[in-house]
Amino acid sequence: MTTTRKQFTLLAVAALAASLGSSAWAQGGSYPAKPVTLVVPTAAGGTTDLSARMLAQALGPVLGQSVIADNKGGGNGAIAASAVKRAEPDGYTLLMQYSGYHVISPHLTKQKQWEQTDFQPVANVISAPQIIVVRNDLPVKTLAELVAYAKANPGKLNYASSGNGSLQHVTGAMLEQQGGVKMVHVPYKGTGPALQDLLGGQVDLTFGTAPPFMPHIAAGKLRVLAVTGKERLPSLPEVPTTAEAGYPKVDATSWFAVFAPAAVPKPVIDKLTADIRSVVQSAAFKQKAQEQGATADFQTPQQLGEKTKVELANWATVVKTSKIEAE
């Protein structure tokens, strides 16, 4: 057999194998044949973590395999993203991404450990506006009173965030700009640690999605002043929006979505998307999300990809205007 014919034969065999493999995936193949890991870019206790665990618990029975939430916080999401980026692109290692890390952090990091092209969208799972929460003994009951207090005590109020450049940080910067006040930013490695120090009185206020705060608000340990979305939350019907409170430009909504390494085969992505859709659009999941102060918000890979592009551009402007820099 000539060299040319050998090469042609090898190429044909490779093409046939790829075709058979693709056909197997298209028919469901053996995926998933083992547990799936959902890497979480934050410490336990925040909405990213709660979203991941809600999804993992409901998705496991649908996939027929355990879905394990694995927290890898730190580096403004870079530790988790890097781990998923390096993982075998077989659909067994996925990223439960927080929007702040996906569309804000890239504008702050000079030495990037990952790029948008390292991942492909699978599905959006949950969306939630930020709420403005203060320690219970802070002498303010409304957003207007908070701004007045900050003006009377310049530089004395401090607010916690889940990290430098996080959506909480940017929301705080927005309020400073719109309210004409100056506060001290205290970054943490996730919402969980920030929440603990807020409860302990080490910080005065924070911004974040409602789920991790709800039990403490209900118990009277924290006071919520406003919702940064365009509508009030059904779980907090008495709490006004920032627009109703006189600050319409303080508007920030987080989303929590599943991404996969870029090279994961499309049939695997299609199966994951379909199964996540069935979970997120179920009445039980919607009810649980609403009780937590969030919204079950399924979006397809195409919708999620388009949203990412738009928000990357929008937040670039906000970050530049706020003069926020990476640590």
Q: Where are the domains of the chain?
A: 35-127+254-322, 129-227
Closest by CA to 46, choosing from 103, 126, 107, 120, is 126
Query: Is residue 134 pLDDT above 50, yes or no?
Result: yes
What integer is the mean pLDDT of 173-202? 92
Q: Please classify residue 143 by burial: count the beta carbons closer than 10 Å to its beta carbon, then call 0-12 exposed, 13-18 middle and 19+ buried.
A: buried
Q: Which tokens go with 19?
A: 């075709």
Centre a 10 Å sphere on the Cβ of residue 273 and count the other Cβ atoms it contains: 20
In this chain, the answer to whether the domains covering 35-127+254-322 and 129-227 adopt an identical fold is yes
Per-residue pLDDT, 327: 54
How many residues are given for the chain?
327
Asked if 242 and 250 touch (Cβ cutoff 8 Å), the reply is yes
274 C-beta neighbours (distance < 10 Å), count: 12
Vertex 135, ends 150 and 191: CA angle to 5°?
Answer: 100
Helices (H), 27-165: 47-63, 78-86, 99, 143-152
Name, in order, each residue with C-beta under 8 angstroms of 198's C-beta and a sequence gap of 6 or more.
133, 135, 160, 204, 205, 206, 222
Evaluate if residue 16 carries a pLDDT over 90: no
Query: Taking a C-beta distance cutoff of 8 angstroms, is the pair 182, 150 a contact?
Result: yes
Min mean pLDDT across 3-17, 63-77, 137-151, 261-275 is at: 3-17
Q: What is the mean pLDDT of the chain?
A: 88
- Which token pair is 249? 């430009």
Is the model's pLDDT at 277 over the cut of 50? yes
Architecture of domain 129-227: 3-Layer(aba) Sandwich (3.40)
Q: How confident is the model at residue 289 (pLDDT cuts 50, 70, 90)?
A: very high
Q: SS3 for 40?
A: strand
Of 93 and 165, more confident: 93
CATH superfamily of 35-127+254-322: Bordetella uptake gene, domain 1 (3.40.190.150)
- Cβ-based neighbours of 242, under 8 Å, separated by 6 or more: 132, 143, 226, 227, 228, 248, 250, 251
Model confidence at 25, in pLDDT bands (50, 70, 90)? very low
Q: What is the pLDDT of residue 89?
A: 97
Among 194, 173, 213, 181, CA closest to 294: 213
The rounded distance, in Å, linking the Cα atoms of 77 and 104 is 11
pLDDT digit string, tens, across residues 49-104? 999 999 999 999 999 999 999 999 888 899 999 999 999 999 999 999 999 899 98
Q: Are 144 and 178 in contact (CB under 8 A)?
A: no
More confident residue, 209 or 109: 209
Asked whether residue 216 carries a pLDDT value surpassing 90, the answer given is yes
Residue 232 has pLDDT above 50, yes or no: yes
Quick one: pLDDT band at residue 18, thresholds 50, 70, 90? very low
| Cα within 13 Å of Cα(284), Cβ side | 7
* pLDDT above 70 coverage of the chain, percent: 90
Phi-psi region of 201 (alpha: psi -120 to 50; beta: other; left: phi over 0): left
- 130, 310 in Cβ contact below 8 A? no
Confidence tier at 249 by pLDDT (50, 70, 90)? confident
Which single residue is written with the structure tokens 């608000």?
217
pLDDT range class, residue 325, cuts 50, 70, 90: low
Per-position b or e across 223-232, b if 16+ CB within 10 A of its CB = bbbbbbbeeb
- For the record, the structure tokens of 38 come out as 């959902």
